[in-house]
Chain A
Amino acid sequence: MIIKQLSIFLENRTGRIREIADLLARANINIRALTLADSSDFGIMRLIVDKLDMALKCLKDNNISTALTSVVAVEVPDNPGGLAEVMNIISASGIDIVYMYSLPEKMHNNAIMIMRFNNTEEAAETLKKQGLRILKQEQVLSL
């Protein structure tokens, strides 16, 4: 139920994202989803990739601060009110979202949101019981 995401520390400087993209390209790694968070002097790049172990090794070999983070991939109905419906369930369960972003692909004709919670494992269980469709790592990678 838990998806492993790559989180990368980046200084805010010209060309840094390109350098990361180049590294992953040379290692033949495909990026499934990507989001960037930034503060005034640094940023964090969050990635879902197809070959996780290889990507991790490639980044570490290049002295890039990288962490594996547990996130949850949740299906969200792709229609007006779809997100609101899912958020109502999460909110009613008393779960806080730290951040979220979407995957470009669809599953069962639903949109997919990647979510990070304060207590991700526990939250995933709870949400599953509440009837939300949570994707497995293989499912996401097979998209």
Chain B
Amino acid sequence: MWDPEKEQMPASQLRKEQSGNLKALIRRVYDRVPFYREKMNLHGITPDDINCIEDISRLPFTSKHEMRNVYPYGLLAVDRKEIVEVHTSSGTTGKPVVDAYTRNDIELWAEVMARTLGMGNVNSTDTVQNAFGYGMFTGGLGVHYGAHRIGATVLPASSGNSKKQLQLMQDFGTTVITCTPSYCLYLAEFAKDQGIDISKLGLKTGFFGAEPWSDKMRLDIQHKLGIKAFDIYGLTEIIGPGVAAECCEADGLHFFEDHFFPEIIDPETGAALPDGEKGELVITTLTKEGSPVIRYRTRDITYLIPEKCHCGRTMRRIHRLFGRNDDMMIIRGVNVFPSQIEELLLCIEGVEPHYQIVVDRKGMLDTMEVHVEVNETIFSDEIRKLEHLEKTIASEIHNALGIHVLIKLVEPRSIARSEGKAKRVIDNRNLIIEARK
């Protein structure tokens, strides 16, 4: 355990700390961030109304949409000169969400990532091969700072280039791998093709996140790589990775709730739900300085597990995510909204908004098929013209979103019409994890 004192803090002490930090946070953002002040005024709340952590449910929510609207620095609660680093979400649906870090925020990030890696007892003798993407994406540098904090050796491999990844593993004796779960399985398959037994390379532990993955996939990873696989959770809106992580019990992810306070709400009514009840996860950054976030609606569906964990950590856990309550898909780690596909389709002359997206997982990787109805306008008597149309649509999507999709032309009216919301996405990946209750 990286920080037993914090991670095993008695609940009463934790609540006290949270209460103090929340009070200070609300005072701070009310004074310094017009965005929050205006919202609180609108709801008739002043910082004096917030005295303990339970009062948090009186505060208004923050949505992804609102965070985009104040791009780039609208949530800043410190002087610009205090900001030492900035990360953003991919921004594929419009303006990205900004996470601005002060030096203390970077320290905090390193700390929660050290806790994360500490779940798998990573220490200074380990070599961490970090195959999360480095750049504006938070995955790469988040793991990087955490591994530094622990004093492990970091190989900042970044994502992709599988041949190099395997070479690094062999040359430097990698013991810990961090990447998306689907890339990990791809790498295992790639190694096999190269005649390398990846389970014999000395890997012990892996930390995987940034996309949904099932328990079946975990077993597959553990079996193929001969490692213990940990699920980690985080999001750019909050800090990046390091918001919650699984311990060796692999029974839910411990929420680092001294810094990030979790709530579960009814997504329809916004009402707070008690621990154990399934709903939408809402997070407040209690200690972050640069761009604090109050009651961020993650759209992720889970429930809180209050029971004491066998590992000794006292912080509550969240069940592995059940899915999302909006329509965002995560395809090989890339966030994709059906509306983006729709926009691209409609840019192609003659294509009508009758389409359906079929997501599947073939072997290791997510696949996406887009079914497009052939109307009179785009129908050509010549096979090659229709095949050309398929290629054009696929390359438009690849250019815009960076994912390869298979376009399938289908007959008019073959996609089911609906009176209400059209069913745009058929997800056959079985990522939804069996409910515990």
Given contacts A11-B414, A44-B381, A46-B381, contact A67 B376 (CB under 8 A): yes
B383 contacts A by Cβ under 8 Å: yes
The answer to whether B383 and A65 have CB atoms under 8 Å apart is: no
Determine the residue in chain A with the shortest Cβ distance to B410. A11
Indicate if A27 sits at the interface (CB-CB under 8 A). Answer: no
A44–B414 Cα gap in the complex (Å)? Answer: 16
Q: Is the CB of B412 within 8 A of A7?
A: no
Q: Which residues of B contact A64 (CB under 8 A)?
A: 411-412
Question: By the criterion CB–CB under 8 Å, are B381 and A65 in contact?
Answer: no
Most A C-beta atoms less than 10 A away, residue of B409, B411, B413, B414: B411
Write out, one digit per residue, whether chain A residues 1-37 have a CB within 8 A of any chain B CB (1) or not (0): 0000101011100000000000000000000000001
A69 near B381: Cβ-Cβ < 8 Å: yes
Query: In the complex, what residues of A have CB within 8 A of residue B379's CB?
Result: 7, 9, 65-67
B387 contacts chain A at the CB level, 8 A cutoff: yes
Residue ID in chain A nearest B408 by CB atoms: A41
State the CA gap A46–B387 with chains docked (Å).
17
Is the CB of A88 closer than 8 A to any CB of chain B? no
CB of B69 closer than 8 Å to a CB of A: no
Residue total for A at the interface (Cβ-Cβ under 8 A) = 21
CB–CB B386/A39 < 8 A: yes
Taken together as a complex, chains A and B put the C-alpha atoms of A64 and B386 apart, in Å, by 16
Instruction: List CB contacts (< 8 Å) of B377-408 with chain A.
Output: 379-383, 386-387, 408
Taking the complex as formed, is B59 at the interface, i.e. its CB lies under 8 A from any CB of chain A? no
Tally B residues with Cβ within 8 Å of A: 17
Q: Check: B375 CB closer than 8 A to any chain A CB.
A: yes
CA distance A100 to B241 in the complex (A): 61
Q: Kindly state whether residue B374 has any CB partner on chain A within 8 Å.
A: yes
Q: Mark B404-431, 1 if CB is under 8 A from A, else 0.
A: 0000111111100000000000000000
Q: Closest CB-CB distance, A37 to chain B, in whole Å?
A: 5
Contact residues in B for A37 (Cβ distance below 8 Å): 383
- Closest residue on chain B to residue A5 by CB atoms: B381
Interface residue A142 (Cβ < 8 Å from any Cβ of B): no
Complex Cα spacing A67 to B379, Å: 7
Chain A nearest CB from B214 CB (Å) reads 29
Q: Collect the chain B residues with CB atoms within 8 Å of residue A9's CB.
A: 374, 379, 386, 409, 411
Q: How far is the CA of A33 from the CA of B186 in the complex (A)?
A: 50
With both beta carbons as reference points, the residue of chain A lying nearest to B375 in the complex is identified as A65
Determine the distance from Cα of A33 to Cα of B412 in the docked complex, in whole angstroms.
25
B412/A116 in contact, CB under 8 A: no
Given contact pairs A7-B381, A9-B374, A44-B381, A65 touches B412 in the complex (Cβ within 8 A): yes
- A98–B382 contact, CB under 8 A? yes
**Contact status B382-A42, CB under 8 Å:** no
Q: A109 at the A/B interface (Cβ < 8 Å)?
A: no
Q: Is A79 at the interface (CB under 8 A from chain B)? A: no
Give min CB distance, B297 to chain A, whole Å.
40
CB proximity of A89 to chain B, nearest CB, Å: 23
Provide the residues of chain A in CB contact with B381, threshold 8 Å.
5, 7, 44, 46, 67, 69, 116
Instruction: For A11, list chain B residues within 8 Å (CB).
Output: 409-411, 414
Q: How far is the CB of B262 from chain A (nearest CB, A)?
A: 45
* Alpha-carbon gap, A64 to B414, bound state (A): 10
Query: Given the complex of chains A and B, what is the CA–CA distance between A73 and B413 in angstroms?
Result: 34
Q: Mark B284-304, 1 if CB is under 8 A from A, else 0.
A: 000000000000000000000
Q: Which residues of B contact A98 (CB under 8 A)?
A: 382
B414 neighbours in A (Cβ, 8 Å): 11
Alpha-carbon distance between A65 and B386 when the two chains are bound, in angstroms: 13
Q: Which single residue of chain B is at the shortest CB-CB distance from A42? A: B409
15 more A-B residue pairs beyond the given contacts A9-B379, A63-B413, A67-B376, with a C-beta to C-beta distance below 8 A: A9-B374, A9-B386, A11-B409, A11-B414, A39-B383, A39-B386, A41-B408, A44-B382, A65-B374, A65-B411, A66-B376, A67-B379, A67-B381, A69-B381, A99-B382
**Subset of 27 A-B contacts with CB under 8 Å:** A5-B381, A9-B409, A9-B411, A10-B411, A11-B411, A11-B414, A38-B383, A39-B383, A39-B386, A39-B387, A41-B408, A41-B409, A42-B409, A42-B410, A44-B383, A44-B386, A46-B381, A63-B413, A65-B376, A65-B379, A65-B411, A65-B412, A66-B376, A67-B376, A67-B379, A69-B381, A98-B382
Residues of A bordering B, CB below 8 Å:
5, 7, 9-11, 37-39, 41-42, 44, 46, 63-67, 69, 98-99, 116
Instruction: Enumerate the 3 nearest inter-chain pairs by beta-carbon distance, A residue then B residue, closest first.
Output: A7-B381, A63-B413, A69-B381
